[in-house]
Structure 1
Amino acid sequence: MSDTPYGGGHPNVARAEALLSVGRIEDACDLLTSHTKEVSHKDADVYALLACCFYRMQKWPASLVMAESALSLNPSHTDGHIFRSEALWRLGRAEEAVTAAREAIRISPHHQSPYQSLSAALRATGDLDGALAAANESVRVSPESVNSHFARYYVLLDMGDNAGAQQAMRDVLSFAPEDADARAVLAGLKDEARELKLPELAREYTAALGTDPGSAHIVAKLEDVALRLVRRTRWVALLCLVYAAVASRAFPTGDDPTSLPAPLGPRMWFFFLMCVGWGVCVWRTYFTLPKGAQLTLLSVVRRALAAKLAAAHSLWGTLCAVLLVTVPWTDRGYEQALVWIGGVPVVLAMWYGAAQRRNERDAAEKAKEKRLKAARERESEAAR
């Protein structure tokens, strides 16, 4: 939250700050806990730093207790009010969180962090206009604070303003071009707006991961893109199967020749085209990707059951297509059975996966609407 160092220069506290800066949160927490037991003088800064530790570990009740301990020692401690606000709205006490954030603003009106906390608390109450105003004020106070622009992004995202959310991330990249989170978020927003193709999306996530190799969030996003690339190959298998059925005369129309087997020349010509089509698909799916994305795609195919199933479906449909055009079938019943055997499992898997993903999106939208409705109801009750 605050950029001000804590603890008045005590070696233990300085070491805890250093541990926090490198992500060793639990070690910093243990050190500070031991420090509070060893010294007789209680320091509000130390408890605020403990609140920060528990906040980063997402232990909201403990963070709230430490923040209130800091405020009992120093009622004007800015970070004490900030961490109290952040913990309160996550514990469902959004109105109290707003009050705590406003108190932090009263104490430190020229610092961006209290405005960010106020924006988050107002979002929790459903007051998106107020949350956006607080986030804009945070940006005004500190135009080159990444967290300030992310506060705007979260509100704009809740408002459904994809273009505004994209602009917030572009603003971050204008002064922090190496910010991995902003680049990854911008890529995701463009993907949601269907402004990027999958290979381009993979390149964006790979570039972001190159800036922050330890980001589990970006790794997950890149793995999701890899899975989508593998799933897309099932369309190629289905197209091969359909054209193989035509070339082998499995389902002749009234204008098509009906004698079997189909001539060897057209069947071999289609086999050649099928090989070329798969070559283009593999080239575009794999070889046009950056090295990091290629490794991720191979890793996903090896580890993820969904990717293995998608690859198996693609191979199965293609194998049936190859059998249709390479074997000189004389019984149309066998050909038609092969088409159905090759196509039905692939179509069912694609339909089921699409339905499941659609249901997940609908559930997420409904949950979001429910939260906003509950927040509005709480706000109206408080007004009455």
Structure 2
Amino acid sequence: MTATVHTFPGKTTPSLDAMVQLVAADLNQVNAVILARMQSEVALIPELAGHLIAGGGKRMRPMLTLACARLLDYGGARHHKLAAAVEFIHTATLLHDDVVDGSGLRRGRRTANIIWGNPASVLVGDFLFSRAFELMVEDGSLKVLRILSRASNVIAEGEVNQLTAQRRIETSEDQYLDIIGAKTAALFAAACRIAAVVAEREDATEEALDAYGRNLGIAFQLVDDAIDYASDGATMGKDAGDDFRDGKVTLPVILAHARGDAAERTFWRDAMEGRRTSDADLAHATRLLETRGAMADTLDRARHYGQRAVDALGPFPAGKAKAALVEAVEFAIARAY
């Protein structure tokens, strides 16, 4: 019997504490690699990179690499550099995303592009990507290199796909799922999968961990897209309503638009095309998402993908590592409450 995702209001709030405790010693090693490899004789590079890397991020993706390695009883140290590479890829994409989106807040702090400007943010993002690839090459596994380089490529494709879909209210649910599967879930999947490679496990184990990470990543992004409309800057660590004002056609919007009457569909088109972006418009959008059931159904879908992630862990034995990985799914979904 597989575990089940239980994430309902009123229950004990899940957290990443179990995972943090599970991988604490390994994470110290990863953080040492990150600190060493973000150094440069060009002072702006560690200054800017450190602003984001030390900015309160949960290190969820590298912790997934470490926790999956623990699940497989891997006793080596290769995963330390590879988990650092995963974090560098993630940080590089955040730097680039904030430039593309013109974001002002990240994890409750001013974004690097606001402090140092867009050119510096893009170039330091490039530096971190190159550092990630150096770490992959040092590991020496072509399979690891193939998995992480492919993920980097897919993330870039997802970001471009999202850019082309921006302000296009006719974006389909399938295209939306393609976008988040690429821009978010691909790195979650790769972070988990490489643990099976370094532990020298069979393809079936790789596939199971890939499925766990991919479905967790989709659930994570679905929740993010829902709480953009239902949270605030203190909770989200970014400006509330950013997606709305940027014209990002996320699943809540797709569902509300499809279910709306003619006046509502006109509102959504105007909003996504940048003609309705005031605080009052955002409040109206949030009401429509609730009345049309778009928020509830988006979170239902998140729970569905979360359950798929948990089910992917079915073949693995019970223990602290598996429990921590299950709770990570519960944490990803419980952020909505």
Of the two structures, which has the highest relative contact order with CA contacts closer than 8 Å and spacing of 6 or more?
A: 2
Q: Compare CA radii of gyration and give the structure with the larger one.
A: 1
The structure with the greater share of residues assigned to helix is 1
Query: What TM-score do you get using the length of structure 1 for normalisation?
Result: 0.25
